[in-house]
Amino acid sequence: MRYLSALAILLLFCLPKARAQDTPAGDLGVSYSFLRQGITDGVNSNGGTVAAAANLKSWVGLVAEVGVYHANPSGVSFNTVTYLFGPRFSYRSHSRVTPFAQVLAGGAHLSASGNGSANGFTYSAGGGVDFGITRRLAFRPQFDYIGIRSGGNTLNSLRASAGIVLSF
């Protein structure tokens, strides 16, 4: 977790700020997330996502994201933590609506009570829209596909998130 915090600080403060005047240097988003792990015959998990982004240009930025999800199917406590990094591509116009797409990669830690734990390579593709409430605050719905590779298998998952974003 210490390394993730250091990377987020690096992304937010040390990268070049080549951007248009109306493009924020970065943003910090906090969302509620619903994660369907295993699209068919899967497990419904609830949790949250925190994402920090640094905008390199008006249309591209770098994102660091951490998600924590919990499920309790049939009395078994099941937890998933994802940590992902990668580019975000945004379309910025003069309106308060900013759609984006992102492709992220990183890892995941899965654990189940009584069944041990596993780590795996994780990748994500998806997008969303920032609806500006004020100049610095926005509402963000987001949808993503998340693939978790562990033990030679891929766990296909879908995530729907909704939260707030603070731009700076």
pLDDT (tens digit per residue) in 44-72: 999 999 999 999 999 999 999 999 999 99
Structural domains in the chain, CATH included, are 2-167 (2.40.160.20)
pLDDT tens for 66-120 read: 999 999 998 899 999 999 999 999 999 888 999 999 999 999 999 999 889 999 9
Render the chain in DSSP notation, one character per residue.
-HHHHHHHHHHHHTS-----TTS-SEEEEEEEEEEEESSSS-EEEEEEEEEEEEESSSSEEEEEEEEEEEE-GGG--EEEEEEEEEEEEE---SSSEEEEEEEEEEEEEEEETTTEEEEEEEEEEEEEEEEESSSSEEEEEEEEEEEEEETTEEEEEEEEEEEEEEE-
